[in-house]
Copies of this chain bind each other. A is one copy, B any other.
Amino acid sequence: MSHNSFGHLFRVTTWGESHGPAIGCTVDGCPSLIALTREEIQKDLDRRRPGQSRYTTQRQEADQVEILSGVFAHPETGEQVTTGTSIGLIIHNTDQRSKDYGNIAERYRPGHADYTYDAKYGVRDYRGGGRSSARETAMRVAAGAIARKVVPGVTIRGALVQMGPHKINRDNWDWNEVGNNPFFCPDKEAAALWADYLDGIRKSGSSIGAVIEIVASGVPVGLGAPIYAKLDQDLASAMMSINAVKGVEIGEGFNAACLTGEENADEMRLGPDGQPEYLSNHAGGILGGISNGQDVVVRFAIKPTSSILTPKKSITRSGEEVDVMTKGRHDPCVGIRAVPVGEAMMALVLADHTLLHRAQQG
């Protein structure tokens, strides 16, 4: 049992606070002989990095990752490969704007973890959210970049599919659009509307929630287990562990409650290669906790950040009633940057279950 580790066999342990000297993680259980460079990890980190548009926090972090252990020159090719031992990663914090945090130390921001941390631990690093800062998710993305290399046949892609009440039109879905707008939005028209909408939110000092969808294609049949190592169970755990997530669903998700057995059935035929072929994917690629060869489809809901300019009623550490308004560099829609984080969590779960499956079934 570990409070700061994720995964069973492909296992990530993170450490670090928003405004400490550095953040980092250890990736344990990675197979050896996988080619790995810091540039590959950096590429994924750059997609998550803040300050890339006016819609994300203006905090400027280079987020340059270093590999401190666990890779070495291949004895024949000389290429940097994993050695099978623990991989240490570090990112030095660079933009810890010095300021007076005294106010934040004392006042509990409503909707933040300030009060619960204090109640549990009696102390917290309140600077920039400390350990509860979304900054921790940088290490998930870094570890996820390694996890992707453990499942080379799998393609993991994520998209923002809802911003506030505004959903995308699924008929417009184009994965190529995801990189063309600052929202990871696969619907060009929705992206244009969201730009205006989010400008309004941002200028009013407000914030808004979102829904992210992560799709893994090429997942082989057989990942997961029947009862307490279900693939969907671990995906739910993975996504719910991301800051601000309030709901997770697989395939039809909550909509499945409205369907009849006839509507929800994914019928099967034989495909051209003699392999089973499904006529629909209500299940989201998982049946009885085990992947069925279809796309694995997960969605999660992100709440709006509580860092808003409207004063809200709260209390202080010493028990006084106050109004709290949170100034500073914040994301009007934290859901945007959660897209690469969700992809990383999908990669971690799939890498982990690939090892678990191989362990038991060879």
Cβ of A144 within 8 Å of any chain B Cβ, yes or no, is no
Inter-subunit contact B117/A315 (CB<8 Å): no
Cβ of A179 within 8 Å of any chain B Cβ, yes or no, is no
Q: Pick from B258, B264, B267: contact of A313, CB below 8 A.
A: B267
Provided the pairs A2-B28, A2-B29 are in contact, do residues A226 and B261 lie with their beta carbons within 8 angstroms? no
Residue from the set A17, A81, A246, A259 with the largest chain B CB neighbour count within 10 Å: A246
Q: Pick from B209, B245, B265: contact of A111, CB below 8 A.
A: B265
Cβ of A83 within 8 Å of any chain B Cβ, yes or no, is yes
Cβ < 8 Å to B, chain A residues 22-62: 22-24, 26, 28-33
Chain B residues near A245 (CB-CB < 8 A): 232
Cβ < 8 Å to B, chain A residues 261-293: 261-270, 274, 276, 279, 282-284, 287-293
Chain B residues near A68 (CB-CB < 8 A): 15-16, 20-22, 24
Cβ of A225 within 8 Å of any chain B Cβ, yes or no, is yes
Inter-subunit contact B2/A290 (CB<8 Å): no
Cβ < 8 Å to B, chain A residues 204-218: 206-211
Cβ < 8 Å to B, chain A residues 326-344: 335
Inter-subunit contact B246/A250 (CB<8 Å): yes
Chain B residues near A252 (CB-CB < 8 A): 246, 303
Chain B residues near A173 (CB-CB < 8 A): none
Cβ < 8 Å to B, chain A residues 50-97: 66, 68-70, 72-75, 81, 83-88, 90
Q: Jot down 19 A-B pairs with beta carbons below 8 A, ordered by A.
A: A1-B9, A1-B229, A3-B85, A15-B26, A20-B69, A33-B123, A83-B123, A85-B121, A111-B287, A116-B221, A120-B224, A120-B357, A121-B361, A132-B226, A201-B260, A206-B260, A236-B239, A269-B321, A282-B303
